[in-house]
Every structure is written in C-alpha cells, then in structure tokens.
Amino acid sequence: MASGERGIEKILVIKLGALGDFVQAMGPAAAIRAHHGDAEIVLLTTAPFVELARASPYFDHIWVDARPPLWDVAALWRLRRRLREGGFTRVYDLQTAQRTNWYFQLMGPGRRPRWSGIARGAADPHANPARDRMHTLDRQAEQLRMAGIAAVPLPDLSWAKRDFARFTLPRRFVLLVPGGAAHRPAKRWPVDHYAALAQRLAAHDIAPVIVGGKDETNLGAAIKEVCAAAHDLTGQTSLGEIVGLGAAAAHTVGNDTGPMHLVVAAGSPATVLYSAVSDPVLTQPRGPGVMVLRRPDLATLSVDEVEATMGLG
C-alpha cells in the first residue's frame, strides 16, 4: 500500500537504546533500506543516538522519543497522534520491548501499519519462542526474514567515522575501554590491570589510548598515573570520533560496554572481556579479529592472558 500523494511508502523503524544495542541494529537498518530503496524511512530513537542516526545513510528523518511514562496522559496522547498521523505503511520494531508493544496499541484502533515485532496482533510477528536465547544479531536477522527481508549484514559504521586529528596521537596505538555501567562493577576488568597492560604497550612503543564517558574520567586518570605515556581521552570524544579511533587502532581491549560495539563495527580487532554477569553468547560484538575472554570474576583474568590475544608482536 502506498502512502501520500507521491505514492512513496513510509516506514517507521523503532530502536531506542542502549548504545551497544543501537549499534547492533545498524545491520538490520541497512537491510531495511536496501529492501525498501525508494521508501521514506523514519527512525524513532532517543536523544543519545541522534548524532549517529543523522550521520547514517539509512534514514530520511529522525524522531526523538522522550519515552513518556504511562501516567503522563498528555505526552502519550501527543505521541499517539504523531504515530497515527505519520502515514506509515510498515513498522519494523527493532526494540521489541513492552514499551514498543504499547506503541502498536497506541496506533489503533482501526487499521494499523504492517508491524514486524512481538506485539500481539502484529502482521509479521517474530514467532520464535526461543528468541530471548538468541544473539541480538541472529534474533533481529530472523525477525526480518519472517517479515520478508532475507539478507542482513553485520553492522558497518564506516559512514560514522570522524577525524580525530585534534588529539595528536602517535601513528600506532591501542584503544583501552576500561569503563562500563557504573551500577554493574562486576562487568569491569580491574583498572590496575588496564594500567599494567598500558605499561606493557608503552614499553613496546605502542601508545595506549583510553576512551570512555565523562563519568569514567577517574579510570583514565588512574591509568595515566601509572603509565605516563598513555593518552587519556575519557570524556572528550564524540561517538563519531570513537568510530574513527576504532578504524585506526591496532587493537582494542575493553569490557562488555557500548563503545566496544562502536570500535568493532569500525573494523578494529578487539579483545572483549566478560564476567559472569553478562553472556557473550547473547551480546558480544561480532567482526573479524574479535576475541572474547570470559571469567566468572574478571579480577582473576591476568594481564598475560589479555596481552596474549592481541598479536601485536
């Protein structure tokens, strides 16, 4: 069914977050764009991902979802009106959460767009009872196959790469990503292990470069205090600059955290560190040269073991 006087199909893609999940949705986004080449595609996302979304070649318009609480009836009504007036013929719900199931209901009553997701009544349901035990990339690829899109590539963020020359880094460097969710400290390899690895890299004339968010500057400072040769960029980089750094890095070492998805999708060989509190079978970044090390307690993972995966010579 065409939409509007121009006869151009209008499609809504929903992906709200978090960062790693957003990056992993870029392969499906590329597949949707390739399958609907002439369509007008709108992405519904949240504010932290607008920069990446606007840089991408997959979407014509970006809508920001403030995620209004259920008690905010006025905000929900505004969202409902916007969704219903969008003229969408198809919706690809890549978030597949209770909230976005509500959005399916908000678009009624009456005839709704053809919906790919898990909302009750969806025209193209992802009807696999084992979906929650699948890796994110496999789950989304199967969801799109059930909606008629056969080929889904790995995420490729080459379009997001930004110049990082302002940081004046040496030609050969390794990225260190010591942060992660502050409320889940068990996901972090100890910062003193990162500092020891930085010292070893510096001894081989490889510059350690530390990246992370503004709330992780203490980690960068702790590594820098032990290894003066380290370049501490925590709190200073845009997402696009992290992609650029990943594309140029000799290797990246980091915890199970969003920036690791950015650098792997940029093409960096990587060693990703997992503890018992998250499962690489479900979430690990995928790409050439990606190695996963997992220990129930990351404090037991030695610097020797991590260095052995890097193949830097």
pLDDT in tens, 99-131: 999 999 999 888 899 999 999 999 999 999 999
Specify whether the CB–CB gap between 237 and 216 falls below 8 A: no
Average pLDDT over residues 130-142: 97
In CATH, 159-308 is 3.40.50.2000: yes
Q: What are the start and end residues of each CATH 3.40.50.2000 domain in the chain?
A: 10-155, 159-308
Nearest to 237 by CA among 177, 190, 156, 287: 177
What does pLDDT average to over the chain? 95
CB atoms near residue 182 (< 10 Å):
11
Whether the pLDDT of residue 259 is over 60: the answer is yes
pLDDT tens for residues 279-294?
999 999 999 899 999 9
The partner residues of 174 in beta bridges, in order of sequence, read: 208, 251
pLDDT at 17 (0 to 100) = 85
Residue 279: its H or E element: none
CATH of domain 10-155: 3.40.50.2000
Element (H, E) at 63: strand 61-64
Please state which of the ranges 17-21, 38-42, 140-144, 301-305 shows the lowest mean pLDDT.
17-21
For the residues 247-269, what does the mean pLDDT come to?
97
Residue 2 pLDDT greater than 80, yes or no: no
Instruction: Note whether 260 and 20 are within 8 A (CB).
Output: yes
Please check the confidence at residue 3 and state whether its pLDDT lies above 90.
no
Looking at residue 110, what is its pLDDT?
A: 86
- Long-range contacts for 143-149 (Cβ within 8 Å, ≥24 apart)? 143/28, 143/94, 143/96, 143/116, 143/117, 144/28, 144/31, 144/32, 144/92, 144/116, 146/116, 147/92, 147/116, 148/35, 148/124, 149/31, 149/32, 149/35
Count CB neighbours of 127 within 10 A.
Answer: 11
Task: Give the up-direction half-sphere exposure of residue 311: CA atoms within 13 A in the CB hemisphere.
Answer: 9
CA–CA separation, 176 vs 195, rounded Å?
10
Candidates 17, 87, 6, 8; CA nearest to 46 is 17
CA–CA distance, 75 with 170 (Å, rounded to integer): 50
More confidently predicted of 193 and 1: 193
pTM, to two decimals: 0.93
pLDDT at 6: 56
127 in Cβ contact with 147 (< 8 Å)? no
CA distance 89 to 114: 6
